[in-house]
């Protein structure tokens, strides 16, 4: 994972309510190594899809928790004192204020649920 990863992040809401969201089609169309798209809004939260390969930077969200759920591949979430390993159909919540770094050694597809006001880049 020596190559610099370009984060392709889309915070706009792509799908209105009562609109079909075809995740396999989104995966097929994705050519980026780090792609993050807001799919829909649910009350004060959003559901995002992440299609990633590589490492994100260390960061935290001061006021928001962040939920990760892996659909395909393998996601590691480095925390200050341990690393969580998520495989397909496994998830975890990173509490607000916790430094973390998501990384995927191979192409990984995940869903994230977080507040609609979160800055995915976080603070370092």
Question: CA-to-CA distance for 47 and 38, rounded, in angstroms?
Answer: 6
Q: How many CA atoms lie within 13 A of 35 on its CB side?
A: 15
Question: CA-to-CA distance for 61 and 54, rounded, in angstroms?
Answer: 20
Boundaries of every domain in the chain:
8-115
Question: CA-to-CA distance for 54 and 31, rounded, in angstroms?
Answer: 14
What is the structure's pLDDT at 1?
A: 42
What is the third-level CATH fold of 8-115?
A: Jelly Rolls (2.60.120)
Quick one: residue 18, left, alpha or beta (phi over 0 = left, psi -120 to 50 = alpha)? Answer: left
Query: pLDDT for 48-105, tens place per residue?
Result: 999 999 998 899 999 999 999 999 999 999 999 999 999 999 999 999 999 999 999 9
Portion of the chain with pLDDT greater than 70, in percent: 91
Question: CA-to-CA distance for 41 and 113, rounded, in angstroms?
Answer: 10
Length of the chain: 124
pLDDT grade, residue 122 (50/70/90)? low
């Amino acid at each position: 994972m020596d190559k610099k990863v370009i984060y392709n992040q889309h915070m706009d809401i792509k799908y209105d309510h009562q609109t079909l969201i075809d995740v396999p089609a989104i995966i097929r169309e994705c050519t980026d190594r780090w792609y993050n798209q807001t799919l829909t809004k649910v009350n004060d939260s959003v559901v995002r899809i992440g299609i990633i390969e590589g490492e994100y930077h260390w960061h935290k969200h001061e006021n928001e928790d962040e939920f990760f759920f892996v659909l395909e591949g393998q996601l590691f979430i480095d925390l200050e004192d341990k690393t969580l390993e998520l495989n397909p159909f496994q998830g975890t919540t990173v509490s607000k204020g916790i430094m973390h770094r998501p990384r995927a050694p191979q192409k990984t597809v995940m869903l994230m649920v977080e507040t609609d006001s979160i800055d995915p880049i976080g603070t370092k």
